[in-house]
Structure 1
Amino acid sequence: MVKNEQAYLDLCQTILDQGQVKSDRTGTGTHSIFGAQMRFNLADGFPLLTTKRVNFRLIASELIWFIRGETNIQFLLKHNNNIWNEWAFKRWVESTDYQGPDMTDFGNRSLVDSSFREQYQQEMASFKERVLTDDGFAQQYGELGPVYGKQWRAWQTSQGETIDQLKDVIDSLKHNPDSRRHIISAWNPEDVPSNMALPPCHALFQFYVADGKLSCQLYQRSADVFLGVPFNIASYALLTHLVAHEVGLAVGEFIHTLGDAHIYQNHTEQITTQLSRTPFAQPQLQISGGAKSIFELEVSDLEIVNYQSHAAIKAPIAV
């Protein structure tokens, strides 16, 4: 069914038609609305967009990275996942240890200056190689600070204690499914101002059990609708499947609630192209880990089948 995807396409059109033009932290500029919601019935299929190709392996490896409590891009690079590179690279090139060419505003400059783009690509390739091969360098410059995995699995209290939010919620779902406290927060006000490479965009989520089905609602404070949101939809749909599998429930809905939902001004052409396409049927998720715990799953245990899509659409990332 294409109903799931239509919710996303309708949101894109609404932002284009009604969005306010706003400045933003990155200096790129956006079309933005405040407050939106999409609902995805996971029984209708896995909500991986079909109007542009979305790489499920990147989504799966990032989610497993979160679930394991990882915060260093070395794990991601070992799985050929580059989606967090720019934030770690920014920390490296702004450090006093970096002695290479000026990389100020590398994201935007690489789009308009071909000679700089080649220089940037060389520096990024060198950075990635060092993170993969030099554990000391990776520990210092591959580290993103207390981002999602840290908050999910090892939230630090003011008393110096550690809370494993994900484990606690899974235990609660098993023993008290009707609780209204199945909540995990990535937004830690103490860590946001200085320690995180990027403050959490998907800030809080809650599970809900009814009729033997597990549903999940995410509150996302800031939503890059073209590049980020397709990943967020698939990631939290996957998380809902994995937690449901862990606690012995069927899947219900994924409900995606957005605060600042925006399309960057340099993404409008890409969004328009995507909106001109007709969606295909939703694919299906297969979990082959058997009796494995959610905390033991590998990327190879997760597979999307019957995925038909239009071609990928590239766009610059705002850092």
Structure 2
Amino acid sequence: HYEQQYLDLMRTIWTQGDERVDRTGVGTRAVFGVTMRFNLANNMIPLLTTKRVFWKTAAREMLWFLTGDTNIRELVKQKVHIWTDWPLDKYRKETGENIDRDTFEQHIIEDEAFAIKWGDLGPVYGKQWVDWPRYTPAGEGLYRREDRGINQIAGLIDSIRNNPGSRRHIFTGWNVAELDQMALPPCHKTYQFYVSGGKLSGLLYQRSCDLGLGFAFNIFSAALLIRMIAQQCDLEPGELVWNGGDVHLYLNHADLVEEQIAREPSGTPTMKILRKPESIFDYDIGDFEVQDYNPQSHISAPVAV
């Protein structure tokens, strides 16, 4: 089963991983340098079956990335909470107000000025993907930032369509000059694509991977993106190759890890895209349909901020 490699890795990290003190202060067990491969033929999609993955939340996040938006307001309007912890933590630290998440998100939705001040994450993922800063000379060693940046995703689509054999089908969110402005520097940082035999494969390099929580979303989102790009380029999906740098489990995720590695994966979920929009930027959540997904129960665990 495609999920077995994930469970084997989880068991290895938990029993043999290097115990480390991390940025969050929670602590992890980790290994460095991991590869997993997932076949995307025949509508296959790498959804974990040993726990429920809320795939529509991951899909909504991916669609949000493609808009270039960096404010959580549109996400929380759709009841997507995965980015709220970072601005909420900042709000609590700077105001001293121990506001709960629901109240904070309600303010974000109802008060545009509040959302502008407290809901922005800085130039994270989508901003770099579709609006990477572009500068032009302005005389005497000065440079002026252009109003419109580089759309890496549009350029990628054009490159795959017109030069499929290229080794430069790449986009990244790792803008060194702007890392310190981001709520969280990109974890799934660099994507590369490969065309062969009418199929599009993708490789994701993830510098940091929370294997217990984040990976389930990351792997589904990467597979979804490959499918969307393949459809836009009149190709079939091929394979997803996942490369992890620092792959870790948080020490406070013991219940999650031990419950999940005791479960057996089963089933082969599939995903269909129900229409072909005019561009990669025109998909909506109703375009995606997952079938034959019968996972075991959800396992909750705290997010380390």
TM-score by length of 1: 0.89
The amino acid of 1:69's aligned partner reads G
TM superposition shift of 1:291: 3.8
- Counterpart position of 1:317: 303
The amino acid of 1:196's aligned partner reads M
Rounded to whole Å, the distance in 2 between the matches of 1:196 and 1:140 is 15
Rounded to whole Å, the distance in 2 between the matches of 1:99 and 1:216 is 44
Secondary structure of residue in 1 paired with 2:74:
helix
TM superposition shift of 1:250: 0.2
**Residues 71 and 116 in structure 2, CA contact (< 8 A), matched pair in contact too:** yes
The amino acid of 2:198's aligned partner reads G
User: 1:106-146 CA distances to partner (integer Å, 9 max, x unpaired)?
Assistant: xxxxxxxxxxxxxx5xx221110011111111112111010
Tell me whether 1:149 sits opposite 2:126 in the alignment. yes
TM superposition shift of 1:287: 1.1
- Counterpart position of 2:173: 186
Rounded to whole Å, the distance in 1 between the matches of 2:275 and 2:287 is 5
- Counterpart position of 1:112: none
Decide which moves more: 222-231 or 135-144: 135-144
TM superposition shift of 1:255: 0.7
TM superposition shift of 1:99: 5.1
The amino acid of 1:189's aligned partner reads V
TM superposition shift of 1:75: 1.1
2:191 aligns with one of 205, 226, 233:
205
Tell me whether 1:56 sits opposite 2:33 in the alignment. no
**Structure 2 regions of 5+ residues with no counterpart?**
137-144
Note the 1:31-42 alignment, pairs <5 A. Answer: 31-42=29-40
Cα RMSD of the aligned pairs, angstroms, is 1.2
Secondary structure of residue in 1 paired with 2:298:
coil
1:283 aligns with one of 251, 254, 269:
269
**Residues 277 and 283 in structure 2, CA contact (< 8 A), matched pair in contact too:** no
**Residues 232 and 276 in structure 2, CA contact (< 8 A), matched pair in contact too:** no
Rounded to whole Å, the distance in 2 between the matches of 1:29 and 1:15 is 13
Tell me whether 1:267 sits opposite 2:282 in the alignment. no
Secondary structure of residue in 1 paired with 2:279:
coil
- Counterpart position of 1:174: 161
Rounded to whole Å, the distance in 2 between the matches of 1:204 and 1:277 is 32
User: 1:138-186 CA distances to partner (integer Å, 9 max, x unpaired)?
Assistant: 1121110100000000000343241100000001001001100010010
- Counterpart position of 1:104: none
TM superposition shift of 1:28: 0.4
TM superposition shift of 1:292: 3.9
TM superposition shift of 1:203: 1.0
- Counterpart position of 2:86: 87
**Residues 191 and 205 in structure 2, CA contact (< 8 A), matched pair in contact too:** yes
- Counterpart position of 1:113: none
Secondary structure of residue in 1 paired with 2:32:
strand
Secondary structure of residue in 2 paired with 1:156:
coil
Decide which moves more: 284-293 or 208-217: 284-293
- Counterpart position of 2:15: 17
User: 1:189-219 CA distances to partner (integer Å, 9 max, x unpaired)?
Assistant: 00112x1000111111101101110011011
Decide which moves more: 146-155 or 293-302: 293-302
What is the number of residues matched between the two proteins? 294
| Residue 30 to residue 99, structure 1, CA distance change in 2 (3 Å) | closer
TM superposition shift of 1:94: 2.3
TM-score by length of 2: 0.93
2:231 aligns with one of 242, 245, 268:
245
Rounded to whole Å, the distance in 2 between the matches of 1:71 and 1:144 is 6
- Counterpart position of 1:115: none
- Counterpart position of 1:215: 201
The amino acid of 1:100's aligned partner reads E
Identity %: 45
Rounded to whole Å, the distance in 2 between the matches of 1:299 and 1:27 is 36
TM superposition shift of 1:306: 1.1
Rounded to whole Å, the distance in 2 between the matches of 1:290 and 1:231 is 23
